[in-house]
Amino acid sequence: MTTKFTPDHEYIVVDGANGTVGISNYAQEQLGDIVFVELPAVGKVLKKGDEAAVVESVKAASEIYAPVSGTVTEVNEALNGEPGLINSDPEAGGWIFKIAITDAGELDGLLDDAGYADLTK
């Protein structure tokens, strides 16, 4: 499994043709306490860059974009009851949705760990 990042601070953990999407630890720190998450519908077809979800902090709403094109296969229902999982465990328990990747080639355009670390330092 490899993890890639967008410049908008989404991550995607890639496992074969499937990916798990959330926001980076840096992003959750910037947003502060997440109080509400609007999840996409399972089965929704997304193009790379489409708005996929919304996370709301006390102060503001932030859109989460699809890092690659694909179909939503699963959403993290736990976030409905406990949106703060995105703060406490952004890159594991705080995942937002899973996606069946249409075009693995799009992953090449994303940042790797080092590239993302560079962006946020």
Binding site for other proteins (CB under 8 A): 9, 27, 30-33, 35-36, 38, 54, 56-62
- Pick between residue 22 and residue 101 the one whose CB is nearest to other proteins: 22
Query: What is the residue-wise DSSP string for the chain?
Result: -EEEE-TTSEEEEEETTEEEEEE-HHHHHHH-SEEEEEPPPTT-EE-TT-EEEEEEESS-EEEEE-SS-EEEEEE-THHHH-TTHHHHSTTTTT--EEEEES-GGGGGGSB-HHHHHHHH-
Give me the least distance between CB of 76 and other proteins, in Å please. 16
Give me the least distance between CB of 60 and other proteins, in Å please. 8
Give me the least distance between CB of 15 and other proteins, in Å please. 28
